[in-house]
Amino acid sequence: MRAADTGDGIPPPRPPRSPWEWLVTVAMVAGIAGICVLIAWHIYDKLSFYSGSALTVAYTVIVSSYVLSRFVLAAFYRPPRDVGLEPTVAIVVPAFNEGAAVARTIDSCMGVDYPTDKLELVVVNDGSSDDTWQQMRKASARYAAGAVRCLDLGSNQGKRAAMAAGIRATSADILVFVDSDSMPAKGAIRRIVQGFADARVGAISGLTYVRNVRTNTLTRMQSARYYVSFQLLKSAESVLGAVACCSGCFSAYRRTAIAGLLDAWENQRFLGVACTYGDDRALTNRVIKSGWVTRYDALAYACTDVPERFGKFYRQQLRWKKSWAREGPILLGHVWRSRPVAFPSIALQTVAGFLSPVVITYNVIRCLLGAPLPVIYLAGLYLITMAYALLYRLLRNDGMWLYALVGALFYITLTPQLLWAIARIRDGSWGTRAPAATAGHAGSVPAGAVSVPVPAMAGLAPGGDDG
C-alpha cells in the first residue's frame, strides 16, 4: 500500500486517493476538527468560569489558544503559486570538516532542475582541518568552469562568517542556503523562488524531510516532528506572513532583503558574547524587522540528516532552545510594528514557550511530592498530540503517523531543557569539546535547521520546533 522508500526521505508524489483513503481523509479531518472544537470549548470554559489560579487559567488559555490558532491558520495555508519566475540564484553552502560528504552536497545542488546560466553554487570552506577543501575542488572540477565557486576562509571563522563570505561573493538575486548535510530535491530551487513574485517577500523557507528516517526510533520521531512542525507551525506562520525561522537546512532569501543586514548579523552579540548558534533564526528575524514578509513553501523540498544518537540530539535541542530563547523575545520586541498582524500569534507563542517548562517542571515536582495526577492536563496533552498524529496521517500515508504522537510526547519531556538553555544562554559552544571560536556548522548537525522549541504548549502542545 505504502509508497516505496526513495532513500532520501522525500515521499514520492501521492497517488490519487482510493475510496479507502478518502474515508481516512474524511475521518482525519473530522478528528482534527473535533479536537479543535474541544479545545475551543475548553478555552471558553476557562474564560467564562475562570476556575483555578490566575496562572493556571492564563497558561491554559494561552497555550490552548496557541494550539488552536495553529490548526485554524494552517487550514488557510496555500503554497505560493508557480508563476514561472526564474531569477538568478546562488546556492550558498558553508562547510566545515565535511570531508567527502561535501561532494555529495555539491552534486545534489548541481543536480537541481534550473537553467545553468541562472544558477550558481558557492561553497565556503570555513578553515576545515581535514580534506574538505580538496574534496570541494575535486567535486567542482566536474562541472563547467564557474558553475561551482569554492571559497576558502583560510581560518575557522564560524558559520555566519562563512555564509556572509558566500553571499558577498555572488551577485545573484536570490540566495538559497543549504546546510552541508542537506540536499535540495530536483525541482526545489525552481519551486522555492516562486514566492518571490510577491515583491514584499524577503525570505522563504522550504520543507525539509529527514533522509535517515529509517535508522532508528529517534530519527523516526524527529522525522515526524519535522514534518508536523513544517506543515502545521510554519504553514500557520506563513499565513500571517511572518515565518519566524527560515531554516538553515533549506531556505531562500532575497538579496535586497539581507544585503544591508549582513554586517550586523555576522557580528551579532548577545549579553556580551558573540552569537555562534541560531544563525538562521537571527537572519529571518532581521528580515522581518526590516519590514519584509517571510513565507513557507510546502512544495519546495530538501532532505537532511538528523542526529542518530540521543547525546547529539540532546545537544542540538539545547542549541535550538538557546537560539529560540534569544531570538523569540527579540522578535516579539519589534514584530508589533514590523508585522502587526502576526503580533498576537507570536506573543502567544513566546509567552507559552517560556511558561511551558515552568508549568511542566512544577507539575512533575508536585506529582513526585504526592499530588494527584493532573488528569485534565494529561488528557489535554494526549488530545493535542493526537491531533498532530491525525494531521500527519491526513497528509502522509507512510505508516509512521504514530511517531508524530510519540515524538510529540517525547519532545514535551525535553521541554524543561529550556530552563537549562536559558541558564547557559551565553555559552556559545556547540556542546562539543571544540572551543567556541572553532564551532562548526554542520557536520551532520542541521545547524538551526528547525530551530526552536516551542515547547510543550499547554504542556499540551507540541513541542514543536516552530522551526
Partner 1 sequence: MGELMRGGLRAATGLAFLAALVITAVVWVTASRPYNPAQQAAWVAPADPAAALAAPAARPFPSAVVSITYHAVSDTNPAFTAVTPALLSEHLAALKAAGFHTITLRDVERLVAGQPVRLPAKPLLLTFDDGVASDWTLVDPLLKAYHFTALAFIVTGRVVPPGRPSYYLSTRQIQQMAATGRWDLGCHTDKLHYYAPVPGGTAPALTNRIVVHGKEETVAQWRARVSADLARCQAFFRRVVGHPATAFAYPFGGPTSGGNIPSVAAIMPQLFRQAGLDWAFYDGGVPPGHIDALGPWSDRYGMERIPTRSVTSVAALMNLIRRTLPAEPAADLSGLPWRGVGATCATAPASLDRSLTVTTAAYGTCLLGDLNTSRWRDYTVRTRVAGLSQRVTAIIGVRDGAGTGYAGRLEVALGERGLIVREQVGKRPHQVLATAPMAPSPVGPGIRDVRIAVTGDRAVITVSGAPAIAVTLAPSLGAGGVQFAVAAQGPHAVTFESPTMVVAPARGTP
Nearer to partner 1, 18 or 432 (CB): 18
DSSP assignment of 8-46, as one string?
A: SSPPPPPPPPPHHHHHHHHHHHHHHHHHHHHHHHHHHHH
Nearer to partner 1, 59 or 313 (CB): 59
CA 127/CA 422 separation, integer angstroms:
30
Q: Confirm if 69 and 465 have CB atoms less than 8 A apart.
A: no
CA 269/CA 228 separation, integer angstroms:
32
If one asks whether residue 396 binds partner 1 (CB under 8 A), the answer comes out as no
Sequence-distant (≥ 6) Cβ neighbours of residue 75 within 8 angstroms: none
Question: Torsions phi, psi of 423, nearest 5?
Answer: -65, -35
CA 437/CA 440 separation, integer angstroms:
9
Distance in Å, CB of 463 to partner 1, minimum: 18
Stretch that binds partner 1, among 39-47, 204-212, 293-301, 302-310 (CB under 8 A): 39-47
The interface with partner 1 within residues 401-420 (CB under 8 A) comprises 401-402, 405
If one asks whether residue 386 binds partner 1 (CB under 8 A), the answer comes out as yes
The interface with partner 1 within residues 42-101 (CB under 8 A) comprises 42, 45, 48-52
CA nearest to 32, candidates 388, 404, 405: 388
Distance in Å, CB of 379 to partner 1, minimum: 4
**Three-state secondary structure call for residue 167:** helix
Distance in Å, CB of 401 to partner 1, minimum: 8
C-alpha cell at 158: 564560524
**Three-state secondary structure call for residue 128:** coil
Nearer to partner 1, 265 or 392 (CB): 392
Exactly one of 23, 367, 376, 437 binds partner 1 (CB under 8 A); that residue is: 376
If one asks whether residue 20 binds partner 1 (CB under 8 A), the answer comes out as no
Nearer to partner 1, 25 or 429 (CB): 25
Stretch that binds partner 1, among 208-216, 256-264, 266-274, 379-387 (CB under 8 A): 379-387
Stretch that binds partner 1, among 31-39, 177-185, 296-304, 362-370 (CB under 8 A): 31-39
Using CB under 8 A, count the residues that bind partner 1: 24
Exactly one of 262, 347, 351, 383 binds partner 1 (CB under 8 A); that residue is: 383
CA 379/CA 288 separation, integer angstroms:
37
DSSP assignment of 315-330, as one string?
A: HHHHHHHHHHHHHHHH
Q: What is the dihedral of CA 103, 154, 318, 410, to 10 degrees?
A: 0
Stretch that binds partner 1, among 135-143, 364-372, 396-404, 425-433 (CB under 8 A): 396-404
If one asks whether residue 375 binds partner 1 (CB under 8 A), the answer comes out as yes
Distance in Å, CB of 383 to partner 1, minimum: 6
Residues that bind partner 1 (CB under 8 A): 31, 34-35, 38, 41-42, 45, 48-52, 375-376, 379-380, 382-383, 386, 389, 399, 401-402, 405
